[in-house]
Amino acid sequence: MRIIFAGTPDFAARHLDALLTSEHQIVGVFTQPDRPAGRGNKLTPSPVKTLALQHDLPVFQPKSLRPEESQQCVASLQADVMVVVAYGLILPKAVLAMPKLGCINVHGSLLPRWRGAAPIQRSLWAGDAETGVTIMQMDVGLDTGDMLYKIHCPIEAEDTSASLYGKLADLGPQGMLHTLTQLEQGTSKPEVQDESLVTYAEKLSKEEARLDWSLGAEQLERCVRAFNPWPVSYFVIEEQPVKVWQAQVIDSNNSAAKPGTVLAADKKGIQIATAQGVLNITQLQPAGKKPMSAQDLLNSRSEWFTPGTILN
């Protein structure tokens, strides 16, 4: 089939790479405009653009698909299907109707749970037992289209957003290719989403990453994993933010100490009382430093974590 691919980050590039090894013809690649990146703020192409150019594919980078010029560009490619993966631009109704078989989207959750921008992080933070990938037929709503295919993925106790991102980036291309085959053969069976089961995955904010000791240790541990690698959970001590990269729950029972109180600090970690249980922090990153073990930080900043100290 004639395929238009639309995507931007590495997650999307993994799907484009799978398409390149398939029998389908990629007639055009849409990705967001180059953005300033790095210390020099040099204009940098997206991972999708980089991969597309390596394979001499035509690349289009409109700022929006609403202008008539952008829509004429899509129409001129005469695609059978448009595959959209983390593109970052809204597809107007006119564009959705241009490919013969419509537009399909690869979404990183088991819809209708976690519609929206941050499904991987929200599923981790909520303590979901599993997540997955849903391939859906796109419509004008936010992740509201009929579901064409699902792949399930268990969430392991040690998973972070980074590790789960990698797992779904492996599963997504499989689901995408399977769905394209079904569309081509006319065997797909669209399933309407159950609106009573809908939850929303709002975009993450840095403010959410601040550890709230009035929560329980289990929820805080999930927060640490959900916000790794961005924006990274943190607490504040002596007006300095300290990022938390790794932590474990060592006691889920009530503590007599006030939430946020340092209970102990040694080579095993920094133990903090929470509203429900104790959180043991094992890897941290003070401002201006690289991530380090709790022991290494205690070697230089042991006064920060004297038992009885209350963290903000």
167 CB neighbour count, 10 Å cutoff: 19
Peptide bond into 112 cis (omega under 30): yes
What are the DSSP calls for 130-147, one per residue?
Answer: EEEEEEEE--SSSS-SPE
Nearest-CA neighbor of 298 among 286, 290, 310? 286
Measured distance CA(105)–CA(91) in Å, rounded: 11
Torsion sign, CA atoms 247, 249, 250, 255:
positive
- 177 labelled binding-site residue: no
Known binding residue 215? Answer is no
Question: What is the C-alpha to C-alpha distance for residues 170 and 228, in angstroms, rounded to an integer?
Answer: 19
Which of these, 92, 3, 93, 98, lies nearest to 52 by C-alpha position? Answer: 3
Any binding-site annotation on 89? no
110 labelled ligand-binding: yes
Cβ atoms of 39 and 118 within 8 Å: the answer is no
Residues making up the annotated binding site for (6S)-5,6,7,8-tetrahydrofolate are 109-112
Residues making up the annotated binding site are 109-112
